[in-house]
Structure 1
Amino acid sequence: RMSPPRKKAKEDELMGPRPDSSAGSICSSLSELNVSPSRKKAKKLEILKPNSGFSWPGFISYAENEGDITPSGLFSKEVEVRGLPWKLLLKKKIGATHLEVYLLHRSYEPAPWSIDVSAQFKLKNTCEELDRVQKITKSLHNGQAKCGFEEFIPLNDLINRDKGFIDDGMFCIEVQFTISNIVGISPATDFTDPNDPRHDVALVFNGKKLYANKQILAIHSPVFNAIFGNLTNRDKKEFQLKDVDRENFHVVLNILQDPAYTIDGDLKLFE
């Protein structure tokens, strides 16, 4: 049976990011349930780029698992949104009649934290108009680090080829989401992102840049304190650093941002 081609997605069907929020997308293609194990070629899947300065757009590659979905679940590759780690989780409990889908935030913060999440889960159909879509808005916290649906779709509907969710022995579920109102968690800083509002200076190493905060550098370094305190440099947004290894300095910035950051080997900045 020839499946009808998917129609082009309409922009107004996608969830746009809320003001002052961060957005991301995880797309994980997994096999039809209970099919014979075999390796599939990894696909390059795009993380949707939102119109937000707090976003970390990019790509993930995911090698599909051909085994059955277990009660403990299968996880997509981890992606970061606003420096926070997220995964797509698929589960099927023993004797269950439905597939479970969740957006999961991995956090090791012992102190109380919370994040507001709005997510749209989509099970793709060979006919785009028949995509199965469900939305949820929830506040995640220490005791509840995931949001989603315990009964997303009946398993019989999922594996029924006449329903159109199986394409070439595979099905694809994606989640598009936005996060906001982050409390109690310090997002990791991307020192290569020029759009992070926390950065106010560019440091140039042989033509390659890292971005940082003048005040933080000045607090920890009398050299930077003197440089930034100079009247002629106060409005300067870019500085050349000579005889300094960019990768080693990147490690230093991570240590300043997170004292628990660990490194392997010796760190050498200057002779």
Structure 2
Amino acid sequence: MAPAKRKATTTVDAARKESRRSTSVASERIPHRNVLPANIRPDPEAQHKQTIMWNCDNVSTIDDNGRNSPTYTIRGMKWYIRVRTETSERTQNEQQFSVYIYCLEKNNLDTWYADVLSNVTLINRRDTTKNKKERFSYRFSHGLSNSGYASFVKMSELLAPEQARTIIIIGYILNNTIKIEVVISVVKIHGLTPPATVYDFTQPIEHLTDGILIVGGKPVHISKQILATNSPVFEALFFRGFREAKQEEIELEEVDYDEFVELLQTLYVPDKEINPTNCGYLLKMADRFQMKHSILLKLQKPSDVVSLKNQRDYVPISDTMKLIVTEHQLKLMNKKP
């Protein structure tokens, strides 16, 4: 039986006291690194990689007009798979089963491009060790929207009666359906603005989840190490002998779910911006969890701090926090351009 959840309002207060006992005023003002710890930093390529598993039916009716898979979004760009038959000089005038990857980017600028690594696999339903695999890299750009294989496999072999098929082809078609796996990795984009990284904390994130907090009655999947790196309060809660450290779930009371998720996005994404909409409540939570420097480092201009001070949520934060904000503002004002 899983351990019971434990409410953590008083526990967070105790963790705050514990962190203060073990942290001097001078060391508390040393900025915590607002980066993912190196040992759990996700693979940049993996963040923009997607596996498309497509069951293409009615294989026997595929012709030169082709058939398209559903559309998938990878790194803010639309992609789909197209299969067709082709009989041409490049297929040595034999009818071939062809597989292509298409990019649906509609930007008319001729300077953009996207570098892609792709793995295409034709799944053998009987023996996966006989899967047919191809790998290629390609630079998609304006006017060059597709790439793939004109001669993936001969249609005569693919559709022949089973007894006439070669050992390589047997097992690829089941009930007139073929299964294709395509892994697309968008490793570089030039000339386009990629969408901001947004993490989904409603479910575990690979390599970035080792705990669950209950906030506003909802589970939030978190990395204890990331929170502890940025907050001595969470460091004390998770790693200094509190009973909650052994609980499967810890409930945080008096914390707004959406605001806490925004705080996590700020900690997880290095280029996440602090703006007039979120800076007030982010600073309030930063005050509570003693992660003020992780937030202040996002404010790069004196005007950013002025905007923050004008927010309604700035009023109830502690005098100590207000002093630190003012010190940060003075540092920015005295900073040489």
Q: Kindly provide the CA deviation profile for residues 200-227 of structure 1, in whole angstroms up to 9, marking residues without a partner as x.
A: xxx9546883546787452xx3x54566
CA contact (8 A) 1:86 1:103 kept: yes
The alignment's TM-score, normalised by the length of structure 2, stands at 0.45
Aligned residue number for residue 166 of structure 1: 173
Q: Kindly provide the CA deviation profile for residues 23-80 of structure 1, in whole angstroms up to 9, marking residues without a partner as x.
A: 111111112433xxxxxxxxxxxxxxxxxxxxxxxxxxxxxxxxx2243321111222
CA contact (8 A) 2:59 2:178 kept: no
Of 9, 18, 23 in structure 1, the residue corresponding to residue 49 of structure 2 is 23
- The residue matched to 1:144 in structure 2 has which SS? coil
What is the count of residue pairs matched by the alignment?
181
- The structure that is helix-richer by fraction is 2
Aligned residue number for residue 109 of structure 1: 107
The alignment's TM-score, normalised by the length of structure 1, stands at 0.55
Matched to 2:101, the amino acid is L
CA contact (8 A) 1:217 1:224 kept: yes
Q: CA deviation at 1:129?
A: 2.4
Aligned residue number for residue 80 of structure 1: 73
Matched to 1:154, the amino acid is K
Unaligned runs of 5+ in 2: 1-41, 89-93, 206-254, 296-337
CA distance in 2, matches of 1:235, 1:88: 46
Q: State the percentage of identical aligned residues.
A: 15
CA contact (8 A) 2:123 2:180 kept: yes
Provide closer, same or farther for how the CA distance between residues 91 and 177 of structure 1 changes in structure 2, counting only shifts above 3 A.
same
- The residue matched to 1:187 in structure 2 has which SS? coil
Q: Kindly provide the CA deviation profile for residues 173-232 of structure 1, in whole angstroms up to 9, marking residues without a partner as x.
A: 11113221211122234545468xxxxxxx9546883546787452xx3x5456668995
Q: CA deviation at 1:87?
A: 1.1
Matched to 1:115, the amino acid is A
Q: CA deviation at 1:81?
A: 2.2
CA distance in 2, matches of 1:23, 1:85: 13
CA contact (8 A) 1:24 1:176 kept: yes
Q: CA deviation at 1:148?
A: 0.8
CA distance in 1, matches of 2:256, 2:99: 44
- The residue matched to 1:235 in structure 2 has which SS? helix
Q: Kindly provide the CA deviation profile for residues 132-151 of structure 1, in whole angstroms up to 9, marking residues without a partner as x.
A: 11111111111112221111
CA distance in 1, matches of 2:95, 2:273: 54
- The residue matched to 1:92 in structure 2 has which SS? strand
CA distance in 2, matches of 1:207, 1:226: 10
1:1-271 matches, within 5 Å, as 20-21=44-45, 22-34=48-60, 68-93=61-86, 97-111=95-109, 112-125=111-124, 126-160=126-160, 161=162, 162=165, 163-164=169-170, 165-189=172-196, 191-193=198-200, 204-205=256-257, 209-210=261-262, 211=265, 216-218=273-275, 221=276, 224=278, 232=287, 234-235=292-293
Matched to 2:108, the amino acid is P
